[in-house]
Amino acid sequence: MSAPSVETWEGSKHGKVGMAKAIRVLAVLERHGWQQIHRAGSHRRLERAGARQTFSYHDRDDLGTGALRQVARDFGIPLEELRRA
Protein backbone atom coordinates (compact mmCIF):
# COMPACT_ATOMS: atom_id res chain seq x y z
CA MET A 1 0.00 0.00 0.00
CA SER A 2 1.53 3.32 -1.01
CA ALA A 3 1.36 6.50 1.02
CA PRO A 4 -0.40 9.56 -0.40
CA SER A 5 1.94 11.59 -2.56
CA VAL A 6 0.69 14.99 -1.47
CA GLU A 7 0.08 16.06 2.09
CA THR A 8 -2.22 18.93 2.93
CA TRP A 9 -2.28 21.30 5.82
CA GLU A 10 -5.16 23.50 6.75
CA GLY A 11 -3.45 26.08 8.98
CA SER A 12 -2.72 28.43 6.10
CA LYS A 13 -4.57 31.69 5.57
CA HIS A 14 -5.05 30.47 1.99
CA GLY A 15 -6.87 27.27 2.98
CA LYS A 16 -5.39 23.91 2.05
CA VAL A 17 -1.85 23.96 0.72
CA GLY A 18 -0.42 20.95 -1.12
CA MET A 19 3.04 19.83 -0.11
CA ALA A 20 4.98 17.47 -2.34
CA LYS A 21 7.96 15.52 -1.02
CA ALA A 22 11.27 16.29 -2.74
CA ILE A 23 11.94 12.61 -3.48
CA ARG A 24 8.71 12.38 -5.49
CA VAL A 25 9.46 15.61 -7.37
CA LEU A 26 12.88 14.19 -8.22
CA ALA A 27 11.16 11.07 -9.61
CA VAL A 28 9.08 13.29 -11.93
CA LEU A 29 12.26 15.01 -13.13
CA GLU A 30 13.83 11.62 -13.86
CA ARG A 31 10.73 10.54 -15.83
CA HIS A 32 11.26 13.66 -17.96
CA GLY A 33 14.79 12.55 -18.85
CA TRP A 34 16.84 14.37 -16.20
CA GLN A 35 19.73 12.18 -14.97
CA GLN A 36 21.74 12.66 -11.82
CA ILE A 37 25.40 13.19 -12.66
CA HIS A 38 26.72 14.28 -9.25
CA ARG A 39 25.58 14.44 -5.64
CA ALA A 40 27.02 16.21 -2.60
CA GLY A 41 24.70 15.97 0.41
CA SER A 42 21.29 17.26 -0.59
CA HIS A 43 22.61 18.96 -3.74
CA ARG A 44 22.09 16.89 -6.86
CA ARG A 45 23.41 17.95 -10.23
CA LEU A 46 21.06 16.82 -13.00
CA GLU A 47 21.59 16.85 -16.75
CA ARG A 48 19.36 16.47 -19.81
CA ALA A 49 20.38 17.10 -23.41
CA GLY A 50 23.44 19.08 -22.37
CA ALA A 51 21.51 21.33 -19.94
CA ARG A 52 22.50 21.15 -16.27
CA GLN A 53 20.54 22.17 -13.18
CA THR A 54 20.94 21.74 -9.44
CA PHE A 55 18.18 20.19 -7.32
CA SER A 56 19.00 21.11 -3.73
CA TYR A 57 16.42 19.56 -1.41
CA HIS A 58 16.65 16.73 1.09
CA ASP A 59 14.54 13.71 0.11
CA ARG A 60 12.00 14.23 2.90
CA ASP A 61 11.64 17.99 2.45
CA ASP A 62 8.14 19.29 1.78
CA LEU A 63 8.12 21.57 -1.25
CA GLY A 64 5.49 24.29 -1.10
CA THR A 65 4.04 26.28 -3.95
CA GLY A 66 6.99 28.67 -4.29
CA ALA A 67 9.58 25.90 -4.39
CA LEU A 68 7.51 23.89 -6.87
CA ARG A 69 7.16 26.93 -9.14
CA GLN A 70 10.93 27.44 -9.08
CA VAL A 71 11.60 23.76 -9.89
CA ALA A 72 9.04 23.90 -12.72
CA ARG A 73 10.71 27.00 -14.15
CA ASP A 74 14.27 25.69 -13.77
CA PHE A 75 13.61 22.23 -15.21
CA GLY A 76 10.89 23.02 -17.76
CA ILE A 77 8.26 20.75 -16.20
CA PRO A 78 4.57 21.76 -15.98
CA LEU A 79 3.71 22.96 -12.46
CA GLU A 80 0.55 20.84 -12.31
CA GLU A 81 2.58 17.69 -12.93
CA LEU A 82 4.90 18.54 -10.04
CA ARG A 83 1.92 19.22 -7.76
CA ARG A 84 0.66 15.69 -8.44
CA ALA A 85 4.05 14.28 -7.40
pLDDT at position 17 is 52
Domain for residue 1, yes or no?
Answer: no
Residues 6+ apart with CB under 8 A from 21: 5, 7, 59, 60, 61, 62, 63, 85
**Reported pTM:** 0.76
For residue 48, give the CATH number of its domain. 3.30.920.30
Whether residue 47 is predicted with pLDDT greater than 80 in this model: the reply is yes
Whether residue 61 is predicted with pLDDT greater than 80 in this model: the reply is yes
Domain for residue 77, yes or no?
Answer: yes
CA 77 to chain centre: 10
pLDDT band at 18 (very low <50, low <70, confident <90, very high): low
Domain for residue 15, yes or no?
Answer: yes
Point out the least confidently predicted range of 4-18, 48-62, 68-82. Answer: 4-18
pLDDT at position 31 is 96
Whether residue 37 is predicted with pLDDT greater than 90 in this model: the reply is yes
Domain for residue 44, yes or no?
Answer: yes
Integer Cα distance of 46 and 41 in angstroms: 14
pLDDT band at 2 (very low <50, low <70, confident <90, very high): very low
Which residue type sits at 64? G
Strand order in the sheet with 43-48: 35-40, 43-48, 51-56
* Burial readout 61-79 (b: 16 or more C-beta within 10 A, e: otherwise): bebeeebbeebbeebebee
Dihedral pair phi/psi, residue 48, rounded to 5°: -150, 125
Parent domain of 25? 6-83
Q: What is the mean pLDDT of residues 45-59?
A: 96
Report the number of distinct structural domains present in the chain: 1
